[in-house]
Structure formats: C-alpha cells, structure tokens
Structure 1
Amino acid sequence: MYRWMRRVRAAVVMGVTWALAWAPVGVLVGLVVDPDGSLDEMWFLIFGYPGFLGGVVFSIVLARRGRRCRVDELSVT
C-alpha cells in the first residue's frame, strides 16, 4: 500500500511541476491574445491543466519504461 501511495504522490508532484512550468506560458499567451483584459479566461489555468495532465502522463510512462533501470540507462526509443 505504501509503495502505491508513493507512486501516486510522485505522479502528482510531477504534474504540479509541469503545471507550474506551463502557467507562465499561459499568462504570456493571454497578454498577446487579450492585451486589454476584456476576456474573462484565466490564461494560466488554460495552460496549467494540460501541463498537469502532461506531467502525470510523463511520470506514468517513465515509471513503466524504467521499472528496473536507472535514468542514464533508459533508451530514447
């Protein structure tokens, strides 16, 4: 049970990290698309949610591919 919770926590942390990395990109896109702020969208969330999901998927793929390997032993293909 503890190992499972540890993997879920790692996936969530990776997702949050990716969301925090993509949120400023959303803000910059919002400044370009809507410079006067007339739209009511929260641009950081528009890019933050896909960033979170991308980080979780990346974490799952990395865990599945590198089950018994170190990071430097993983193949790109």
Structure 2
Amino acid sequence: QFNFEREMLGQLPTENIRHFLAAFASEGRLNLHVRELAGENDHHRVEAAFKALALSLRQAVTIDVRAAGEIPSTKQTLG
C-alpha cells in the first residue's frame, strides 16, 4: 500500500512497483504485506520497502541452529 506523490521514480513508473510486488508474491506463492509507514519522499519509502522485503526473505530462508531437528512450523507440521 503506497500513496505515491509522483507517477515516476526516475525512469520507473510507480505503478510498476505495485505490479512487481503483486507478481512476486503471486509467483512466489507467499503472503506479502507492504504498508507505507513513513518517509520523506517516494524514493525513500520504496527503498525502505525493498530493504524490508530483502531482510524478511533472508530471515525466512536462514536455518536457525537453535531449532535443529525441529519442524519449522508453528503447527509442527508441513504439508
């Protein structure tokens, strides 16, 4: 959810940012929630969203050695 002030970020149409995130979530078969909380301008808000996405993806694929041998699910089942 973004409220862009401009239609373009450099040479990138801002509508492509929404489209990319929606397609990424759909094709990746993952839940993705992006909310604009703060930022000085469109560039900074989009940059923060992509950095947060990168951090969450890193966390999602990192093996937690403290949970060795456990099923990585709050329901204790995969499938």
Q: TM-score range, shorter-chain basis?
A: 0.3 to 0.5
More strand by share: 2
More helix by share: 1
* TM-score calculated relative to the size of structure 2: 0.32
Q: Which has the higher contact order (CA 8 A, sep 6+)?
A: 1
* TM-score calculated relative to the size of structure 1: 0.32
